[in-house]
Chains A and B, each alone.
Chain A
Amino acid sequence: MGAPGLAGVPTADAPQTKKDFTSDQEVRWCPGCGDYAVLAAVQGFLPDLELARENIVFISGIGCSSRFPYYMNTYGMHSIHGRAPTIATGLAAARPDLSVWVITGDGDALSIGGNHLIHALRRNVNLTILLFNNRIYGLTKGQYSPTSEQGKITKSTPMGSLEAPFNPISLALGAEATFVARTIDSDRKHLTSVLSAAAAHRGTSLVEIYQNCNIFNDGAFEILKNRDSRDEVLIRLEHGEPVRFGADGQHGVRRNPATGALEVCDGDDPGLVVHDITADDPTQAFALSRLADPGTLARSPIGIFRQVERPAYGDLMNQQLDDAVTAQGEGDLQDLLRGKDTWTVG
């Protein structure tokens, strides 16, 4: 492939198929769960990367989505709630020859693991993080999550939740992320194209996947998926293109000259903003992420928000090791132990 994100990872000797990436474990998500679609998409797309299967690792935390590694015939670890980015960081920094993936959910990544997520993004470790956002706690049977809309009635909030939700894209952009994208479980083509770009990016790629939990939060993204409504509310971002949506592109997005915020306008407005994923300044990407209504998700942009280059943490770390050897030579343990101030006894 030669993509920067995969540089240094050995390639496969022979072509691979989806079957090569499918483990012998029975998949145990609830029938109808959105996770199946994501699993199928990942298993189907990985052969395209042409990587040696043994050099791919999936690390997950805890939650329904975090069972994902068991179903991948690669190396994998199902770890602790919220901590997958930490384990993946150590692994990726120590092993530049691996393609390391993190599978997480909205509770795992944004609640208990929020601190680790923002620091992984800030450091730009070479990881691809797939954040399955179903806006609910599934594994613990239906409590509200940090992405649930305010007023959500759940088992733990019978009178409605009190908290404002996180917008994961805004959060990631604020945490200095170099690659941020959003996609939807039901749109296989879009999902695959975003995953390809994420894998090709060197540094931390965060992909938020809107994923339906048909047991505890069914239809959470229906407005974005339903043929009758989706064109009016879903904004498909295309790099280098003016931001337009609607069945015939009749809506657009422009900057309000007074406030600087983005607002919806007619599709033929002369002031439409042009989407630029490579912009150094994340201001416009952030503003785009704010278009979505936090309650209904109407006007949700999907696609790549930001894709900029910044040295990856592991590369910098390994460079320092090489530089130290170049400058001082390889370490000699006996010299180190002896040190400078010694004395000899007869």
Chain B
Amino acid sequence: MQLTGDRFTAEAASFGNDLSTLPNFPAEIRAPAGTLPGVSSFQLHFANYDILTPGDAPDVLVAMNPAALKANLPDVPKGATIIVDTGDFTPRALKKVGWDTNPLEDSTLSAYKVHALDLSGITMEALAPFELSRKDASRSKNMFALGLLSWMYGRSIDGTVRFLQEKFASRETIRDANIAALKAGWNYGETTEEFAVSYEVKPAAMPAGIYRNITGNLALAYGLVAAARQSGLPLFLGSYPITPASDILHELSKHKRFGVRTFQAEDEVAAIGAALGASFGGALGVTTTSGPGVALKGETVGLAVSLELPLVVVDVQRGGPSTGLPTKTEQADLLQVLYGRNGESPVPVVAASSPSDCFDAAIEAARIAVTYRTPVFLLSDGYLANGSEPWAVPDVDALPTINPDFAHELNYDGDGEHAFWPYLRDPETLARPWAIPGTPGLEHRIGGIEKLDGPGTISYDPSNHDRMVRLRQAKVDGIAGIPDLQVDDPSGEARMLVLGWGSTYGPIGAAVRRARKAGHNVAQAHLRHLNPMPANTGDVLKSYDRVLVPEMNLGQLALLLRGKYLVDVVGYNRVRGLPFKAEELAEVIVEEVGSL
């Protein structure tokens, strides 16, 4: 089902629609078919205008079995089209999901336009000449459904035909059967009178450029490759497989010709340790993980804070605590990445706001890490990781340059001493020199024990420790190049601001549009830098009568804003493993505005 979704997305993308997707699948690899927990779905929203979310309520639901119908029906608005494969609507399958009677035969679906088709049967028939096993033939029904949908929306299936030719190049029968099923689905739509209407969704008006479709994990991986190129540093990824971050490891492991080294470690601790070791040696050290992995890496992040070496730690957040909901989204690691370490351990945090923003956010995280010699957390989440949207392919010549500025010379003169001091800071950035092994004359030792300000030798002196704690904090607080928080308020008269961070950007934007359409003045702003926050953040918050902060956690950003800026923000918090729905958020916004 995920593959079918991917292909329909690709067809919509190459037609030029704007789009947004939400793959949703169980954590189990082969969850029992036909059960409610086993349902895997792929939601695609495409339009001829710019869109921000995968949509709240689908106009068309394709359900391949009773479980899929039952699991998704609550999201489908009355009047929508439902295409059902009746092949699996046996009494046994119905019973498995708790239906005593067949919903296709009673009044359950009376409010919908239902097309009950024996997709399995038709597909089998279409594939009879191929003499496939029943199992293989039945698998092709997804391609039949894709062909049918492609016809309904006037999408070319040429791209998918090419895709199938490549994917099954070595298995001719499977290849031909899938192509035949795809074409049969298209032809079925065109020749039967079952579908009286087909829909036309024109290309969206987007700024000129070359576009492609991209998921957050892919964009993030590309951002890391780009950051390595822009800094001239070889990329070293230390990673341990974990959902939903593993695809970044998979992707980067393909790019060895870019000098990318990927190391699949024995555990999360080794993964970040190797990345930090590579950083010590002058690489762009990166580790990728999800929340439980961050918990394990905490001590090494603390070491990186003390060593003041560049390191990018990617946290693709998922539902927690503990194993939680591995395949579902959440943004409840904010406080963990900010404060989940011993001692005063300040770490910059950058959060991507959309799948394509993962590319730029990765470059920004690397810029801060390299320039300020510090570990940086880059936050994504399950929704961004697997969701996709069109992306204007950037011109690589226009990407920012990152300067590692390695140390080559002795840097200290005094008391008759001509020496290299590894903790003699740049007065402007407070960054320390990065002298990598192999540089003659700059041999030095660093470690997790507190260091004397300047020479960097071990120091247990109380006032030195107090000074070093403050210096490390001041270095992070003083990070430059963070743009001011931009407020979007077309009316100029809004008294309420909706402030978000991370992947809620799309749903909040869509909800704000709805509220404005309904005649309400609402301002919107989004935080990309969570530490340090943009310099004007406090002023912006204080200029509104009310600040609403929707988060997929129990109010973590809200806590920070209240603590830092003494502003009584209002939270809206849901932790359901799914992104916010625009309609739901719009209602909350309208209600809050109305109460002012």
Contact = CB atoms under 8 A, between A and B. Distances in A.
A56 B255 CA distance: 29
Contact of B303 (A80, A94, A116, A324): A80
B206 A345 contact: yes
A131 interface: no
Nearest to B457: A25
Interface string B231-273: 0001010100000000000000001111101010111011111
Contacts of B307: 77
Interface string B283-318: 101000000000000011001000100000000000
Nearest to A334: B396
B514 interface: no
Contacts of B229: 333
A176 B92 CA distance: 53
A144 interface: no
Contacts of B280: 57, 77, 87, 91
A86 B437 contact: no
B445 A23 contact: yes
B269 A90 contact: no
B269 A336 contact: no
B282 interface: yes
B437 A59 contact: no
Interface in B439-468: 439-449, 457-458
B441 A54 contact: yes
Contacts of B441: 54
**Could you say which of A23, A91, A119, A327 has the most chain B C-beta atoms within 10 Å of its C-beta?**
A91
A305 interface: no
B226 A333 contact: yes
A342 B255 contact: no
B79 interface: no
Given A88-B277, A95-B281, A341 B445 contact: no
Contacts of B273: 79-80, 83, 85-87, 89-90, 116
Given A78-B448, A95-B282, A341 B212 contact: yes
Contacts of B272: 86
B278 interface: yes
A55 B277 contact: no
A321 B270 contact: no
B449 A78 contact: yes
Nearest to B299: A80
A56 B445 CA distance: 12
Nearest to A9: B438
A337 B394 CA distance: 8
A257 interface: no
A1 interface: no
B274 interface: yes
Interface stretch (A29-37, A66-74, A159-167, A208-216): A66-74
Interface in B387-420: 393-396
A343 B14 contact: yes
A21 to B, nearest CB: 10
Contacts of A83: 269-270, 273, 299-300
A54 B263 contact: no
A54 B440 contact: yes
B interface, over-half SS? mixed
B146 interface: no
* Most A-side CB within 10 Å, residue of B14, B275, B394, B438: B438
Nearest to A326: B257
Contacts of A334: 395-396
Interface in A116-173: 116, 119
A75 B278 CA distance: 14
Contacts of B447: 69-70, 76-79
B438 A321 contact: no
B276 interface: yes
A172 to B, nearest CB: 16
Most buried by A among B15, B212, B266, B267: B266
A336 B222 contact: yes
A53 interface: yes
B159 interface: yes
A90 B189 CA distance: 56
A70 B393 contact: no
B445 A76 contact: yes
B140 interface: no
B238 A90 contact: yes
B398 to A, nearest CB: 11
10 contacts: A54-B438, A73-B443, A75-B444, A91-B280, A94-B281, A321-B259, A339-B393, A343-B14, A343-B210, A346-B208
Interface of B: 10, 13-16, 159, 203, 206-213, 222, 225-226, 229, 234, 236, 238, 255-259, 261, 263, 265-267, 269-283, 285, 299-300, 303, 307, 393-396, 437-449, 457-458
Given A116-B270, A337-B396, 4 more contacts: A56-B437, A321-B256, A324-B256, A343-B211
Top 10 nearest A-B pairs (CB, nearest first) are A86-B273, A78-B447, A90-B274, A90-B277, A331-B258, A87-B277, A324-B256, A91-B277, A76-B445, A94-B278
